[in-house]
Each structure stands twice: as structure tokens, then as C-alpha cells.
Amino acid sequence: MEKTYYNPEDLKKFGNVGEFQKDLADKFFDYYGTVFADSALSAREKSLIALAVAHAVQCPYCIDAYTEDSLEKGYSEEQMMEAVHVAVAIRGGASLVHGVQMMNKVDKLSM
């Protein structure tokens, strides 16, 4: 067994997932490439969205990859951290908005 669940070297093996279900992997990577191409949004804009989402889903591989990609695409440290805060705000807000559900239940159960 590996000493850690996450190994940075494993990111380079991402393409190997095709060894077990090639068709599905091929479709995924093809789709992935299309998603990140310049289109209605630029590849640059998508890189920053990916950085934020990487933090929301807390994927260390994605954080490494899109930190480097964001640097390459010319984002400043301030812009990158603001993107992370967007993820944080949505995650925090998603928890907090459930407070309304809690309040509704309190109302229902209370005299």
C-alpha cells in the first residue's frame, strides 16, 4: 500500500485510466479537451474557473495543475486567490443557506 493516498507523480498517469475502459476514457479526454478550448469563454477564463472548482472539490491534483496553468496564462496571485475565495464563498454559502432549513424545522417543532 502507498504511504499516502495522493502521490503527485500519479497525475502524470491520469491517461492510464484508459487501460481499463478505453472507450470511456477516450470519450472523457476528448470531451475534456473540448471543454478547455477557446470558445464562448477563453481558455484563459476557463483555467481560472477550473482553479476555483479544484478548491471546491478539494482535488490536490487539480489544484497543482491549475495553479501552474493559471500562472502560465498570466493570472496574478491576487486574481488566483480571489478565485479561491469565490469557491469558498459558494461552499460556505451552501452550508449557511441550509440554516434556513434548520430555522424552518425549528419553527415547525416549536410551540
Cα–Cα distance for residue pair 88/73, rounded to 1 Å: 22
Please, which residues have CB within 8 angstroms of residue 88's CB and are 6 or more apart in sequence?
55
Q: Return the closest-CA partner of residue 63 out of 24, 8, 23.
A: 8
Residues 78-97 contacting another protein, CB under 8 A: 78
Choose the stretch contacting another protein; rule: CB under 8 A; options: 50-58, 69-77, 83-91, 101-109. 69-77
Contact letters for another protein, residues 13-52 (x by CB under 8 A): -----------------------------xxx--------
Q: Which of 2, 19, 23, 77 binds another protein (CB under 8 A)?
A: 77
Q: Which cell is 99 given?
A: 440554516
